[in-house]
A and B are shown apart, each in its own frame.
Chain A
Amino acid sequence: MPEFDPDLEKALAQLERDLANLFAPEQPEDSPAAPAVDMSVDLAGMTMKNPVVVASGTFGFGREYGEFYDLSELGGICAKGLTLHRREGNPAPRIAETPMGILNSVGLQNPGVDAFITEELPFLRQYDVKVIANISGSTPEEYGIMCEKLGSAGVDMIEVNISCPNVKAGGLAYGTRPELAAEVTRMAKSHAGNVPVMVKLSPNVTDVTEIARAVEGAGADALSLINTIRGMRIDVNTRRPILKMNTGGLSGPAVLPVAVRMVWEVANAVKLPILGMGGVSSGEDAAQLMLAGATAVAVGTACFADPFAPLKVRDGLAELAVRQGLSSVSQLTGGVKPW
């Protein structure tokens, strides 16, 4: 039996790492030299080391992409959307590729808020990253119960998804009626304790500013937008929609201009800070949303093709800020000069 030699073990481990690095494609470094620009942002009192968040539903609870890089590199993580009870979601197929986009109809598959608090939150808490829980309810009371649980469990922020149908109001989506959106916001705020509440707006409305104003009036601390845009794709040979649910939510680069427009409209209509999202896959995309009025940005669909997309967006944003001679990336926010 050869004796254990710590030096040899160390040397072997180093060799293994060197070998792995040899094969790794060019990736953003785990801890890049401090950029010449201040990347930190403040979203409704929540300070993030950089403005890049990963969007709910595209990043699970972080475990999968945590295999590729240190999650502490991110500004924040919007966890997979939670419901009060476990949900299995919709039947497959749940995804269809479209020109520069994807449609999805996952249907909020999740383990339920209690399982998140006991199984997933402790994992996320190992990292130096802001944890944003995303919740959906089918009654205002469900939103209240979930906020209560998450507030005492200690997440950094609660993102309220108002795109789901309200059972009590006959299945009307909360996010499409100002009075319903306001009701849910009030309920969330009154149960979330000190945890800031961010309301995620649906783009599937005639006037997004109407909903934004209602939510602001009801006491929301921040807004996030845009959720996915309803869409459909049909297989012309079988004449069947690709998605088993027939329709789904569009995301990806195709929706970026819609997101930029809506963030701009909302930023002009309310005073709340905005987490902008929709089709971001580069630093420049993120900068557009920030110029339109976003304080921070979320990267979502881009992760599917490139797990490292959020880090590339962060680095691209830093480079852009340096190039433009900014001392802080937050100087981009609202900086658009409309004609």
Chain B
Amino acid sequence: MKVERNCKIVHKTQMGGAIFMVLEAGDMVRASWKGPGQFVHIKCGDSLLLRRPISVASCQEDYPHDLVTIVFEVRGAGTAWLAERKLGETLDVLGLLGNGFPMRPEGRYLLVGGGIGVPPLWGCAQYTNGRSTAILGFRSKEKAIMLDLFREDCAKTLIATDDGSLGCHGFVDALVRQELEQDRNYDAVLACGPRPMLKNVAKAAKEFGVPCKVSMEERMGCGVGACLVCACDMKDGSRKHVCKDGPVFDAEEVDWDA
């Protein structure tokens, strides 16, 4: 059951242009957890009408308060407001929303993230307890985030940067091919990042016959499936909704040419 909770900020760190925040979320995780990859919908001040969807990087049941970790980048007025909140302040949060990545805790996954799409994959890494591999892409070394966290929770962590300032020079799909050539014994490729990246990663996974799940992004309204604005074009001609049917979709059902 989705809930609205006033969540206290109990931890806040700046990391490589992104902000890492831990929230005390009452019973939110107990009430609505479905798997790594869900999101929360946060009210960002009184002057902005719409909440802002932020992916959950990691969460856990805890007593008395469940903990929800979010990692976000300042992209506009909403996230700028959120970035200014201080420790101890309270946020109005709807959560946990959407469906996470379909995963088995005993599984082994190839986690592929790009830029601010990287955070939710950390929860996937934790869920599989060190068995998964991460391939993370960033624009540059300065933009890289959460590397230590992934190294700690993954069997292997590979990095790519657009400008070559860290790890491999290039895009993550090249690393996905390189990894799958050596080892295709993964339950699935799980990817989150910009749409062109997802399209390329889905193509690479298909070449090697490995299932691929992608977390999509779209401008959102209600966040719960009532307003129908966050449409995602499917191959069968239908339009599903990122907030309710997603944000995770099977890469095969998405119309990448839309």
Contacts and interface: CB of A to CB of B under 8 A. Distances in A.
Interface string A37-76: 0000000000000000000011110011101100000000
Interface stretch (A118-126, A286-294, A302-310, A312-320): A302-310
B228 A92 contact: no
B229 A104 contact: yes
A88 interface: yes
Contacts of B225: 60, 63-64
Contact of A20 (B27, B51, B238, B258): B27
A304 B51 contact: yes
B5 interface: yes
Contacts of B244: 64
A67 B221 contact: no
Residue among A80, A90, A95 with max Cβ neighbours from chain B (10 Å)? A95
A19 interface: yes
Contacts of B258: 91
Contacts of B220: 95
Given A101-B49, A102-B49, A102-B50, A20 B31 contact: yes
Given A91-B258, A304-B50, A68 B4 contact: yes
Given A97-B49, A304-B49, A305-B50, A106 B227 contact: yes
Contacts, number: 124
B218 interface: yes
Given A20-B31, A67-B1, A109 B49 contact: no
A28 to B, nearest CB: 12
Interface in A214-248: 242
A23 B1 CA distance: 14
Given A88-B238, A94-B231, A106-B227, A304 B222 contact: yes
Contact of B226 (A27, A60, A95, A252): A60
B114 interface: no
B5 A24 contact: yes
Contacts of B27: 19-20, 23
B80 interface: no
Nearest to A27: B4
A62 to B, nearest CB: 9
Contacts of A166: none
A201 B18 CA distance: 46
A301 interface: yes
B51 A89 contact: no
B49 A60 contact: no
A93 interface: yes
Interface in B226-250: 226-233, 237-239, 244
A305 B227 CA distance: 12
B4 A93 contact: no
A307 B1 CA distance: 14
A95 B50 CA distance: 10
A188 interface: no
Nearest to B25: A23
Contacts of A84: none
A301 B219 contact: no
A242 B219 CA distance: 10
A253 B46 CA distance: 12
A155 interface: no
Contacts of A91: 231, 233, 239, 258
Nearest to A20: B27
B258 to A, nearest CB: 7
B49 A253 contact: yes
Contacts of B219: 92-96, 242
B3 interface: yes
A100 B49 CA distance: 6
Given A19-B27, A106-B229, 17 more contacts: A20-B27, A23-B65, A24-B4, A24-B26, A25-B92, A64-B224, A64-B226, A89-B231, A89-B239, A92-B218, A92-B229, A92-B233, A102-B49, A109-B231, A304-B221, A307-B94, A308-B4
Nearest 4 CB-CB pairs, A to B? A23-B26, A95-B229, A60-B226, A94-B229
